[in-house]
C-alpha cells in the first residue's frame, strides 16, 4: 500500500511539473527574458500563447523561445539567427538579426528546471512577416532554417545524448511539422543510391582490376547497403538518373502536411510544404544538372538530345507553387535551379527564362537572387547587373541590385576594417593603403581551409611575402578568439604576412557582414588604389592562385578575371 501511495505521489509531482513547464512555454514571465541588444524596453513586448491564435496575427510581434538543454556539460552559448523570409539570401536586405544568449542559472527559473539542465530564454525583436529561424548551440546547429511568424512562442527540450527534440507551447505543432518534414527529406537522401560516375567501361574495369580496389569497394558498398554505385558516364548514367523517384517522397510530405490541416493556418501550411518540396526537388534537379553537364562533355549528340528532351519533359511535370514561394527560401532555390536547368538544356539566357516562366514580381525576386548567388563567379558582373537593371520593376529589387553593384562592382572602394593580430595590436585599412592586398578568410576546424592553406596559401605566401608592394593578411573568422589563439600559426617566418582575427560585437563583425563572408575559405584581392578586384571562393590550384595574384601585381588597372580555372560562369 505504501508503495502504491508513493507511486501516486510521484505521478502527482510529475503532473504538476509538466503543467508548470507548459505554462512557462506558453507564456514565459516578462522578467528574466533576454531581449536583443539595443532595443527600447517597449520594442518587444511578449505576445506568446496568451494572444496568438491559430491564425497569423497582422500586428508586429516578437518570437519567444524557451530552450532547455539536457546535457549541460556540452552546452555553451546559444546563437540565434533570424532573417526576413522574403529577403533571405540577399545582401543588406536580408534583414539578418543575430544574438548570442548565455544560459540562465537553474535557481533563476524558480525550481522549474532541474540542476542537470541549462535553460535559455529570449524574445526576438518584433517581426511583421514570416521569418527564418536558426539555433546554434556552441557552434553546433540545433534548428536549421525553421519558418516562424509574428507572435510565435515555443518551448524546446533538447537532449543531445539521447538525440531528442521535444516541443511544447502554442507553436509546437508548427515546429513538429517542420521537424518531421526534415526527417522525410533526410530519409529520401538515404534511400537514394549514391551514383559515382566514371568515364568509361574501360576506366571502371581498370579501377576494379587494381589490387584490393574491388575488395575495398565491395566492403564500402556493403557498409552502406545498396547506397553506392559505380556508374559509367553516358547512357548508363542517363538510365540511372531516370530511375530516381522523388515523387513518392513528395507524396509522403504532402500526406504529412494534411495531418496538421486543422492545427495551423492555411498560409503557414503552404509555406512549410513549399519549403520541404523545394528542398527535395532542388537536390534532385541538382544531381540531374551535374550529370547533364558531364554527359555534354562526351560529345555524343544523339545521347545529349535524348537527355535534353527528357529534362524538358520532366520540368513540365514538377510542381510550381508560386503563391507560396515568397515565404519559402528553399522553394525559391528550387525554382532557380529549375529555371537554370531549363536554360542549360535549351541554350537560353537564364534571365529570359525566368521572366518567361514566372510573373514579373516572382521573376524579379528570383533574378536578383540568382545574380546574388553568382556575383563572385560572373566574368563581367557590371554588364550583367546593368542588363538586369532594365528588367526589374520591383523597387525593393532595384535597391538590392544597386546594393550589389556598390559592393562587388568594378573599382568599388574597400570597406574599412579593424582586425587584431596575435599580439593584440590592431591592423586597419590605413595600414595597408597604397599596396596590393591579398586576404584569405578561414575558421578553425575547417577541412577545406586546412587543405587550401597547406597546398596553396603557404606556398603562395612563402614566394611573395617579401614583395615590396604586397600586403598579405590571413583573417580568422572564429566566433571565439580563444579558438584562434590556441591554434598554431601557419607560418613562423617574418615578412609581409600577418595572421589576424576578425573581432565581433554582439556576434557580428561589420567587415565580414558587409561582404557577406559566411562560408570558408574565401579569398579577397584588392588593387593598389584600394578598390576591390575579386572576392570569392579560393582558386583550386597554386598555379591558378599565382596567376590571379600576378594579374593585379603586374597590371594594377586589370578590370576582370580571365582565368577560367579560378571561376565557373553560369549559363548567361
**According to the model, what pLDDT value does residue 410 have?**
64
- Provide mean pLDDT across the span 373-402: 80
Q: What pLDDT, on a 0 to 100 scale, did the predictor assign at position 298?
A: 86
Task: Return the pLDDT at 308.
Answer: 95
d(CA 452, CA 544): 12
Q: What is the pLDDT of residue 8?
A: 45
pLDDT of the residue at 485? 78
Calpha distance 366→554 (Å, rounded): 38
Q: What angle do CA 17, 21, 23 make, to 5 degrees?
A: 120
pLDDT at residue 278, as a whole number: 92
Residue 196 has what pLDDT? 65
**pLDDT at residue 56 above 70?**
no
| Residue 505: exposure state from Cβ atoms within 10 A (0-12, 13-18, ≥19) | exposed
Asked whether the predicted pLDDT for residue 515 surpasses 50, the reply is yes
Average pLDDT over residues 271-286: 92
Beta carbons within 10 angstroms of residue 461's beta carbon: 21
For the four alpha carbons of 34, 36, 40 and 44, in that order, the dihedral sign comes to negative
The residue ranking higher by pLDDT, 72 or 292, is 292
Phi, psi at residue 144, to the nearest 5°?
-115, 110
Give the model confidence (pLDDT) of 361-387 as tens digits.
888 988 988 888 877 667 677 778 888
> In terms of residues, how long is the chain?
572
pLDDT of residue 40: 35
3-state secondary structure of 164: strand
Confidence of residue 305 (pLDDT cuts 50, 70, 90): very high
pLDDT more than 90, % of the chain: 17
24 compared with 155, residue with greater pLDDT: 155
Dist. CA 454–CA 444, nearest whole Å: 14
Q: What pLDDT is stored for residue 407 in this prediction?
A: 72
Local confidence band at 152 (pLDDT 50, 70, 90 cut-offs): very high
> How far apart, in whole angstroms, are the C-alpha atoms of residue 96 and residue 399?
17
Does the pTM surpass 0.85? The reply is no
**Please, what sign has the CA dihedral across residues 107, 108, 114, 120?**
negative
Q: Tell me if 177 sits within 8 A of 265, measured CB to CB.
A: no
Q: Peptide bond preceding 521: is omega within 30 degrees of 0, i.e. cis?
A: yes
Quickly state the pLDDT bin for 117 (edges 50, 70, 90). low
Band (pLDDT 50/70/90 cuts) for residue 211 is low
Q: Copy the grid coordinates of residue 552.
A: 593585379
Q: What is the pLDDT of residue 360?
A: 86
Domains of the chain: 21-170 (no CATH), 349-409 (no CATH), 418-554 (3.40.30.10)
pLDDT at 20 over 60: no
Residue 14 banded pLDDT, cuts 50, 70, 90 = very low
Q: Is the pLDDT of residue 276 over 80?
A: yes
Q: What pLDDT does residue 568 have?
A: 36
Short-list 525, 516, 521, CA closest to 561: 525
SS3 for 165-231, per residue? EEEECCCHHHHHHHHHHHHHHHHHHHHCCEEEEECCHHHHHHHHHCCCHHHHHHHHHHHCCCCEEEE
pLDDT at residue 557, rounded to an integer? 56
Would you state the pLDDT for residue 430?
86
Taking 60 as the threshold, does the pLDDT of residue 36 lie above it?
Answer: no
- When mean pLDDT is compared across 57-66, 95-104, 232-241, the lowest value belongs to 95-104
- Top-ranked range on mean pLDDT: pick from 172-186, 410-424, 456-470: 172-186
263-267, 376-380, 392-396, 415-419: segment of lowest average pLDDT: 376-380
Average pLDDT of the segment spanning 273-291: 92
> What is the C-alpha separation between 127 and 44, in angstroms, rounded?
9
For the chain, what is the mean pLDDT?
A: 76
The residue-averaged pLDDT of 124-149 equals: 86
What integer is the mean pLDDT of 8-36? Answer: 37
Q: Report the pLDDT value the prediction gives residue 173, as an integer from 0 to 100.
A: 94
pLDDT band at 253 (very low <50, low <70, confident <90, very high): very high
Q: Is the dihedral of CA 133, 136, 137, 138 positive or negative?
A: negative
Confidence band, pLDDT 50/70/90 cuts, at residue 1: very low
Q: Could you tell me the CA-to-CA distances from 89 to 194, 326, 409, 521 in Å, in that order?
A: 29, 12, 19, 19
Amino acid at each position: 500500500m505504501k508503495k502504491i501511495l508513493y507511486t501516486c505521489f510521484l505521478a502527482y509531482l510529475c503532473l504538476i511539473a509538466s503543467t508548470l513547464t507548459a505554462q512557462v512555454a506558453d507564456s514565459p514571465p516578462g522578467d528574466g527574458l533576454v531581449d536583443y541588444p539595443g532595443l527600447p524596453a517597449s520594442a518587444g513586448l511578449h505576445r506568446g500563447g496568451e494572444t496568438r491564435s491559430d491564425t497569423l496575427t497582422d500586428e508586429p510581434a516578437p518570437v519567444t523561445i524557451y530552450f532547455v538543454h539536457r546535457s549541460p556539460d556540452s552546452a555553451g552559448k546559444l546563437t540565434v539567427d533570424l532573417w526576413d523570409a522574403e529577403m533571405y539570401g540577399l545582401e543588406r536586405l536580408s534583414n539578418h538579426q543575430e544574438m548570442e544568449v548565455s544560459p540562465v542559472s537553474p535557481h533563476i527559473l524558480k525550481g522549474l528546471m532541474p540542476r542537470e539542465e541549462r535553460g535559455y530564454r529570449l524574445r526576438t525583436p518584433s517581426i511583421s512577416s514570416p521569418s527564418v529561424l536558426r539555433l546554434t548551440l556552441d557552434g553546433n546547429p540545433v534548428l536549421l532554417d525553421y519558418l516562424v511568424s509574428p507572435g510565435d512562442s515555443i518551448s524546446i527540450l533538447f537532449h543531445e545524448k539521447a538525440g531528442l527534440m521535444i516541443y511544447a507551447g502554442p507553436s509546437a505543432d508548427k515546429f513538429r511539422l517542420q521537424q518531421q518534414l526534415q526527417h522525410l527529406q533526410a530519409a529520401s537522401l538515404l534511400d537514394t543510391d549514391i551514383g559515382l560516375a566514371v568515364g568509361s567501361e574501360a576506366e571502371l574495369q581498370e579501377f576494379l582490376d587494381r589490387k584490393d580496389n574491388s575488395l575495398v569497394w565491395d566492403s564500402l558498398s556493403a557498409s552502406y547497403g545498396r547506397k553506392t554505385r559505380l556508374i559509367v558516364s553516358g547512357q548508363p548514367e542517363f538510365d540511372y538518373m531516370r530511375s530516381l523517384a522523388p515523387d513518392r517522397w513528395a507524396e509522403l510530405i504532402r500526406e504529412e502536411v494534411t495531418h496538421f490541416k486543422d492545427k495551423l493556418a492555411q498560409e503557414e501550411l503552404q509555406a512549410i510544404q513549399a519549403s520541404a518540396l523545394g528542398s527535395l526537388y532542388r537536390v534532385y534537379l541538382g544531381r540531374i544538372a551535374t550529370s547533364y553537364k558531364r554527359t555534354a562533355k562526351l560529345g555524343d549528340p544523339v545521347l545529349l538530345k535524348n537527355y535534353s528532351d527528357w529534362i524538358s519533359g520532366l520540368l513540365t511535370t514538377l510542381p510550381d507553387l508560386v503563391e507560396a514561394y515568397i515565404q519559402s527560401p528553399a522553394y525559391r532555390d528550387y525554382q532557380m535551379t529549375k529555371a537554370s536547368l531549363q536554360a542549360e538544356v535549351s541554350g537560353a539566357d537564364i534571365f529570359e527564362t525566368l521572366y518567361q516562366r514566372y510573373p514579373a514580381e516572382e521573376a524579379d525576386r528570383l533574378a536578383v537572387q540568382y545574380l546574388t548567388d553568382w556575383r563572385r563567379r560572373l566574368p563581367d558582373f557590371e554588364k550583367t547587373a546593368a542588363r538586369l537593371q532594365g528588367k526589374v520593376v520591383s523597387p525593393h529589387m532595384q535597391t538590392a541590385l544597386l546594393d550589389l553593384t556598390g559592393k562587388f562592382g568594378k573599382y568599388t572602394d574597400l570597406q574599412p576594417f579593424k582586425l587584431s593580430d596575435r599580439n593584440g595590436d590592431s591592423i586597419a585599412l590605413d595600414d595597408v593603403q597604397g599596396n596590393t592586398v591579398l586576404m584569405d578568410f578561414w575558421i578553425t576546424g575547417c577541412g577545406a581551409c586546412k587543405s587550401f592553406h597547406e597546398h596553396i596559401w603557404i606556398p603562395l605566401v612563402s614566394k611573395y611575402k617579401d614583395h615590396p608592394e604586397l600586403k598579405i593578411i590571413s583573417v580568422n573568422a572564429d566566433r571565439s578568439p580563444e579558438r584562434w589563439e590556441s591554434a598554431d600559426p601557419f607560418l613562423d617566418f617574418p615578412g609581409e604576412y600577418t595572421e589576424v582575427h576578425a573581432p565581433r560585437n554582439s556576434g557580428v563583425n561589420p567587415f565580414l557582414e558587409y561582404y557577406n563572408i559566411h562560408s570558408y575559405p574565401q579569398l579577397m584581392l584588392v588593387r593598389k588604389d584600394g578598390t576591390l578586384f575579386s572576392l570569392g571562393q579560393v582558386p583550386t590550384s597554386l598555379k591558378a592562385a599565382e596567376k590571379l595574384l600576378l594579374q593585379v601585381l603586374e597590371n594594377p588597372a586589370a578590370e576582370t578575371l580571365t582565368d577560367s580555372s579560378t571561376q565557373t560562369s553560369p549559363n548567361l
